[in-house]
Chains A and B, each alone.
Chain A
Amino acid sequence: MNESVPTGDAPKGAYVFRLYLADGAPNSVRALANLYAICRRHFPDSHHIEIIDVLKDPLRALEEGILVTPTVVKVSPEPELQIIGNLSDEDEVLRALGLPQREMA
């Protein structure tokens, strides 16, 4: 499952994420779904998600200094940033990404 999921041509200024997950594990599945949802909502035309299954490619995770899954790395725009967890709290994720949070309902 080490695959790139291109959405468009990842133009300059696009959000590029690398998601380290354990394929099929509940938190990983949730993190993936949450990341997709956040990208669709906030950068619909300019995002790119690379998925790395640590069960298949643990060395890659080790090289990147990944300790646990799920971990998402925001590769671009700089600065690079790690978020660990299932990304269920969208506000927390947006805050970490330095984006405006959702309006309160």
Chain B
Amino acid sequence: MSAAIGTSSAVPHDGREIGLGLRLAHAENALRALATGQVDAIITPDGRAHLLPRAPEQAQQGERRLQAIIESAVDIIMVVGRSGGVLFQNRATTQLLGYETGSLLAQNLFQLVHPEDLPVFYSAFFNVIEEFRKAVTLQFRLRHRNSLYHTLEATIGKLCDGPDAQVVVTCRDVRRGESAREETAQKLLVLAEAAQTKDRFLAMLSHELRTPLTPALFGVQELQEDDRFIEARPILAMIQRNLQLQAQLLGDLIDFTVVGQHKVRLHPESIDAHEAVRFVLEICGREIAEARMEVALHLRAADSMVLASSARLQQVMWNLIKNAVKFSPAGGSISIVSANNAAGDLILEFIDRGVGIAPELLPLVFDAFQQGDVQARPFYGSFGLGLFIAKGLVEAQGGTLAAFSEGRGKGATFRLTLTKASSNDFAVPIQ
């Protein structure tokens, strides 16, 4: 900072007559101020004030400062002439597009714009040059020195008019965000395709694996009825159980692929959900008895007629009941409660007092291949597909399936909501 120039000499207060010494001191101070660029006007003895042109040093300082600002900008700043010739490029141009300082100056900007983007760029450029618009912002691709195109967001603004009109093009590199998005989208596509391939393979595989089971099951059944093999019956029963389990697992896998691809086609009929619950309980009777479970039925709904696919609804109930048994301690109890909601739809709740579901796992219970806690795995005889399939099947029938639990060890409730059957639907008996 240059020093302020001061005189410490006193000026006689009363008169205009100033001593020669003081005048000289003032003149000297004025000269010093002049030399340090702190003067902007001089008053000459003829009584006129002359404004000084800006001190060259000051002007240079200003220019250097402007240059520093432009060069330190993260955005590309270019000055472009009417015909597209690049007249100025800042340092960011080198950093973002690889063109060394000055190397663009002989080039035409239009030749660097991606051919597909050229019409849009051209139109924006001339709108500004011809002063139809003050400034235009657009996205276009510009060729990097390495020949790859980078997507830039640019603002074209007028710098000066006339036949030598020039514009300032400031560009921001948006390629980073853009390419990341594109990359993610591409990865998702690949993943989706891979998932589809996997589903198709799984469907095919489960069908192929299940086909030989059917004749084997028939064979075992015949042998069990054959008196010649009485002694082998326990072994035959074991073979039958395992074959049935295998068939069940493969059935789950097939359902999973079908539900997963939203290809379930059902033909809902009017059926009695209460009747279906009782029927399924009979089927599950042996498993419930083996686990010494008690089932309390509170089927209080006045209207239990629902629109559903009989076989699929039974499959869902079977899944929910087996699930409740599986996750309850031996000797526990399960409640099945029904009620009608305001709309007349049927709500069926399957309530157990078993291991419950931790809050963080609750949103995952309907996901495929999920089975409660990691420590609790593996459960024998299941892939963890039951609830996923059940939810898919319920939704295909126009219903909903939701899970509730107060937390680990506090049991779980699965609420099944089924659309009520309209009165003129013909009721189909459960079988």
Contacts and interface: CB of A to CB of B under 8 A. Distances in A.
B315 interface: no
Contacts of A68: 30, 33-34, 39, 41-43
Interface residues of B, number: 38
Contact of B39 (A69, A83, A92): A69
Contacts of A58: 43, 47-49
Contacts of B2: 85, 88-89
B43 A54 contact: yes
Interface centre among A22, A54, A68 (most CB of B within 10 A): A68
Contacts of A71: 30
Nearest to B48: A58
The A contact surface, by secondary structure, is mixed
B377 interface: no
A25 to B, nearest CB: 3
Contacts of B52: 25
A79 B11 contact: yes
A103 interface: no
A80 B26 CA distance: 13
A92 B4 contact: yes
Contacts of A22: 40-41, 49, 51
B214 interface: no
A81 B7 contact: yes
Interface string B1-34: 1111111111101001010000100110110111
Name the interface size band of chain A.
35 or more
A61 B6 contact: no
Contact of A83 (B7, B37, B42, B47): B7
Contacts of B43: 54, 58, 61-62, 66-69
A28 B4 contact: no
A79 B51 contact: no
A13 to B, nearest CB: 16
A92 B6 CA distance: 8
Given A67-B30, A88-B1, A81 B41 contact: no
B4 A89 contact: yes
A6 B284 CA distance: 100
A84 interface: yes
B51 A96 contact: no
B242 interface: no
B372 to A, nearest CB: 66
Given A22-B51, A92-B3, A96-B6, A84 B38 contact: yes
B56 interface: no
A73 B38 CA distance: 16
B4 A96 contact: yes
Contact of A55 (B3, B13, B45, B51): B51
A11 interface: no
Interface centre among B6, B10, B32 (most CB of A within 10 A): B6
A82 B40 contact: no
Contacts of A25: 40-41, 51-52
B54 interface: yes
Nearest to A97: B6
Nearest to B36: A85
A70 B49 CA distance: 12
Nearest to B46: A62
A96 B8 contact: yes
B179 interface: no
Contact of B4 (A59, A66, A88): A88
Contacts of B27: 67
Contact of A87 (B4, B39, B45, B49): B4
A63 B47 CA distance: 9
Nearest to A83: B6
Contacts of B40: 22, 25-28, 69-70
A59 B1 CA distance: 32
A86 to B, nearest CB: 5
A25 B41 CA distance: 8
A49 B1 CA distance: 24
B261 interface: no
Contacts of B13: 78-80
A93 B2 CA distance: 12
Contacts of A65: 16, 18, 23, 26
B39 A27 contact: yes
Given A25-B41, A82-B7, A92-B3, 15 more contacts: A26-B54, A27-B38, A28-B40, A58-B49, A62-B45, A62-B47, A65-B16, A68-B33, A68-B43, A70-B40, A83-B4, A83-B6, A84-B38, A89-B4, A96-B4
9 closest residue pairs by CB, A with B: A96-B6, A25-B40, A79-B10, A22-B41, A85-B38, A58-B49, A80-B11, A54-B49, A69-B41
10 contacts: A22-B51, A54-B41, A58-B43, A67-B26, A67-B43, A68-B33, A73-B11, A80-B10, A82-B11, A87-B4
